[in-house]
A and B are shown apart, each in its own frame.
Chain A
């Protein structure tokens, strides 16, 4: 049920984000999802682009940071926060067009009964800092262009290598991003990396559900989770440790399964982690009543139920 509602929401927002601009929808340049600016007629732009740009992002001279013009950098950020707050991580699994693209690929794999490859907890943990490294580069490279004379072709470094850039425009019939730009060594470097990465990610997404999300920078929005009324909580005393949540999680989050609270004291613990996409697969597959709860303030959006879980799997 919840899975179906989510799929419906994903498709609706896919259409809105990808084609909305053609119908006059403009949601700004600070969307917390991969509504790619390289898609012609999209309804809004992913915040990552604004973050790297001149004037509204970090490709800005140092002196601007200490002047009133800094407000132009803050504005998109404020808009990003305003959009993020009510929905928090639901942006990922319920709205993001690239997430839906990955889900389609996964659906094909599942239909073909091809198994995925498993990533161990150790690998997952090792990959966690990658997002922060990418974020640091995303800030430092534009800063270096604006202030240290780095070659301007390093501009929009993340967009240049992001696999969504060639892939998402395909849905508007645009294949123009599948090339290597021979203009100069910097463009060759970036476009070749982009093409190789796109190939790697296409294979990765095929063999591992939501493979891109492991590296997605927007997933770091969980850093602001405390500001959001949206909560994902686990009643640690209810959990029997069956591991269904980890098993069914598209990004294999172990933290929800292993969370035991402080000193084994009963109570609700926040388990919205960096990698969590808010897909609620874990809640759907949790066999203990109210062990996992998605909340909006104190209102329960969806909580685990043995009956729900049993019914879901027996009617499959």
Chain B
């Protein structure tokens, strides 16, 4: 009988090869795309590296900390001198390594993340988990991470507008800071934090410029997804420099498609299925509210003063009250931002992407559909996962949706 470890090693090697092939296929697809420019190379490079964590760590100048969601403030990681590593994975091939005991209807993202952690040597890499959706809350246990690493849970209050929640979350942010200080053995001073906050504000301004270009269809949905997906794995200053280089080299192709708003479950490299299908159907994703795209950077942090308390309070508010994650109970104002963008940029349709097993977004889709249709906005919900078999079916539906939008425009 073959020992278990060698069987596992063989599986690992096979999965790594599969992932490599998947990445190469996807990368070449992206590189052959008319929207592609060489200034996107740094983003693709870093995204490819994220699948091979050992190498990633070797090349990284900072210690890394995993975090699956966007509620752990990036500014705090930066102030602590740590590199956040966003646990979001769009690879289908890596699911080979996912533990077999995962429930049948597991969220594909969670399955991929579990596979990714299994495929790489990740023992001892600390993990910060804001308690957002059930999958995120439970996956560390399912993946058996308890024994392997230091996990810090940030208990996310599921009410956004209540003061008691804000206070609790503020407390969580302070505890998170203490945890980071313990990890690094260095105190995070308010001046360091202020520097990070300012830096991320500058990054957000750059991001805002990028968004405006995107709304005008000068930056395509695909380009934007690459840039934003790569953000939480990089030093923010390097990322900003790369984005600036990209923006300088931009050229307006003059092509204008029917603009649509993309919402729903995360879209993560290399799973750009939805983006390319929408494009193939003759539409352009000019806006979204996806947590791996436009919501990666939470926005400018407005703080009252530069004291530690005020900065942490401002961060807490920005990463909680201002966040429109579907796991919040009082998330009904999420639609306002959506409708506001739709009206401001004359976008007539919303495509809602649901990953099979992603319950919060599934529920949110039904709520949004009712309310958007009341306002005369076309809504298309597409439920899919990382497989390619349903592509044709989706394209047909998207084309029909495109025709509807065109008819409204005419």
Taking beta carbons and an 8 Å cutoff, which residues of A are in contact with B?
109-110, 113-116, 118, 120-122, 209, 236-244, 247-248, 254, 257-258, 260, 264, 285, 287-289, 291, 306-307, 309-311, 313-314, 316
Q: Name A286's closest neighbour in chain B (CB-CB).
A: B302
Q: Is the CB of B161 within 8 A of A239?
A: no
Q: Is the CB of A243 within 8 A of B340?
A: no
Q: How far is the CA of A120 from the CA of B162 in the complex (A)?
A: 11
Taking beta carbons and an 8 Å cutoff, which residues of B are in contact with A?
160-161, 163, 166-167, 190, 198, 201-202, 204-205, 208, 299-302, 304-310, 313-314, 317-318, 321-322, 324, 332-334, 336-337, 339-340, 344
Contacts of A248 in B (CB 8 A): 302, 304
Which of A237, A247, A310 contacts B208, CB < 8 Å?
Answer: A310
Q: How far is the CA of A106 from the CA of B324 in the complex (A)?
A: 33
Q: Is the CB of B302 within 8 A of A240?
A: no
Q: Is the CB of A247 within 8 A of B204?
A: no
Q: How far is the CA of A209 from the CA of B198 in the complex (A)?
A: 23
Q: Is the CB of A240 within 8 A of B198?
A: no
Number of A-B contacts (CB under 8 A): 105
Q: Is the CB of B317 within 8 A of A244?
A: yes
Which of A114, A209, A242 contacts B321, CB < 8 Å?
Answer: A242
Q: Is the CB of B337 within 8 A of A288?
A: yes
Which of B201, B317, B333 contacts A316, CB < 8 Å?
Answer: B201
Q: Is the CB of B321 within 8 A of A115?
A: no
Quote the shortest CB–CB distance from B310 to chain A (angstroms): 6
Quote the shortest CB–CB distance from A315 to chain B (angstroms): 8
Q: Is the CB of B163 within 8 A of A121?
A: yes
Which of A115, A120, A291 contacts B163, CB < 8 Å?
Answer: A120
Q: How far is the CA of A316 from the CA of B333 in the complex (A)?
A: 29
Q: How far is the CA of A289 from the CA of B215 in the complex (A)?
A: 15
Known: A285-B302, A309-B302. A241 touches B160 (CB 8 A): yes
Which of A113, A121, A247, A313 contacts B201, CB < 8 Å?
Answer: A313
Q: How far is the CA of A222 from the CA of B160 in the complex (A)?
A: 29
Q: How far is the CA of A260 from the CA of B307 in the complex (A)?
A: 32
What are 7 of the A-B contact pairs (CB < 8 Å)? A110-B304, A243-B321, A247-B317, A285-B302, A309-B302, A310-B208, A314-B300
Q: Is the CB of B336 within 8 A of A237?
A: yes
Q: Name B321's closest neighbour in chain A (CB-CB).
A: A243
Quote the shortest CB–CB distance from A119 to chain B (angstroms): 11
Q: How far is the CA of A257 from the CA of B336 in the complex (A)?
A: 13
Q: Is the CB of A115 within 8 A of B302?
A: no
Contacts of A120 in B (CB 8 A): 163, 167
Contacts of A260 in B (CB 8 A): 333
Quote the shortest CB–CB distance from B204 to chain A (angstroms): 6
Q: How far is the CA of A287 from the CA of B208 in the complex (A)?
A: 11
Q: Is the CB of B304 within 8 A of A116?
A: yes
Contacts of A114 in B (CB 8 A): 305, 307
* Chain A CB within 10 Å, residue with most, of B166, B205, B300: B300
Q: Is the CB of B205 within 8 A of A314?
A: yes
Q: How far is the CA of A109 from the CA of B318 in the complex (A)?
A: 23
Quote the shortest CB–CB distance from A145 to chain B (angstroms): 43
Q: Is the CB of A238 within 8 A of B336?
A: yes
Contacts of A258 in B (CB 8 A): 161
